[in-house]
Amino acid sequence: MTRIRIKRVYEAPAPDDGCRVLVDRLWPRGVRRDALHCDVWARDLAPSAGLRSWYHADPGDRWEEFRRRYTDELRASQAVEKLWDAILKTSRVTGDPIQAWNDHNKDLNDRCEYLNNLHIRELRYKSSNGTDFTVGMIPEAQFCGGGETSLQGIFFNPNIPTEECFISPMRGVAEGIVYATKPLSYQGQLIDGFWIRFHEGKAVEWHAEENNELLTKLIEMDEGSCYLGECALVPFDSPINQTGLLFYNTLFDENACCHLALGMGFADTIKDFQNKTLDECRKLGVNDSMIHEDFMIGSADLAIDAVCEDGKTVAIFRDGTWAF
């Protein structure tokens, strides 16, 4: 059993002290480093300078409040460490990051190539939470994901982290209802417990248990904000979702599971987009809006089928993850 024994730094070391940890922001006055026999100097575990000054101004009456504030500081410090650990792991920068990203980019590229070779006409989503939704694809659009090559021929990753294979759907072709599976952080507030019903591609009905007025403002922002600009496929067991954290940051949160986006579509998902004008991409079916807001709909039992141009149906997702 692990025992924790508290000693003042001025007490002499004992043979049975075990691992000696100094908990203080500053090295104690008058004590040589070799004399303290300190194994670990845990500066960040000590009370902040401000809290110590506040306490010493009236130690007789402030002990209980000091304990509460110090506990809050420790929790905040642990939360920051946990967040950094999650960021580094989900960004694949632990171990050998170069090899990890080479492997990950290849996996995403292979999946996009498979999806594009299917020539998908529409995607059908179903989940036990009530999601029952179909969305049409633009014939000239293609799934993208992972690394990209710039017009100057330079390969790069525009987003880190990234787990998605995404595409811009056909404006005006979406039917059914989708239930959000995670809160949406928008304008510093959370929209939670919401669903949206689509008809002829347009959001026609919706409700949020929390911040419904804000959801309404988002959907009614402009003429195109009630249409979809993106469909992204992300396995529910993605590294980001496994953290169990809501990052309050779209780049991280959208890569937790499958998501849709209201608003602007991506012209660069159109084949040969660099030789087309933006208006030409819009005419092909890419939505236009001043917003682009992702919301998560992935779940542990989400099933997605692709109906292809030749009429065959292909399983894309089963039980929340890739079926191929």
Instruction: Say if CB 230 and CB 294 are below 8 A apart.
Output: yes
User: Letter for the amino acid at 59?
Assistant: P
Q: Is 6 exposed, middle or buried (0-12, 13-18, 19+ CB in 10 A)?
A: exposed
- CB count in 10 Å sphere of residue 60: 5
Domain boundaries, the chain: 21-90, 98-322
**56: CB partners within 8 A, 6+ apart:** none
Taking the C-alpha atoms of residue 210 and residue 203, their distance in angstroms, rounded to an integer, is 18
Torsion of CA 134, 139, 141, 145, to 10 degrees: 60
Instruction: Say if CB 211 and CB 295 are below 8 A apart.
Output: no
Place of tokens 């992972």: 146
Reading the chain (324 residues) residue by residue, the pLDDT tens digits are 567 788 888 888 888 887 788 888 888 888 877 778 777 787 778 898 899 999 999 988 899 999 999 988 888 777 778 888 898 999 999 889 999 999 999 999 999 999 999 999 999 999 999 999 999 999 999 999 999 888 889 999 999 999 999 999 999 999 999 999 999 999 888 999 999 999 999 999 999 999 999 999 999 999 999 999 999 999 999 999 999 888 888 889 999 999 999 999 999 999 999 999 999 999 999 999 999 999 999 999 999 999 999 999 999 999 999 999
Taking the C-alpha atoms of residue 238 and residue 67, their distance in angstroms, rounded to an integer, is 39
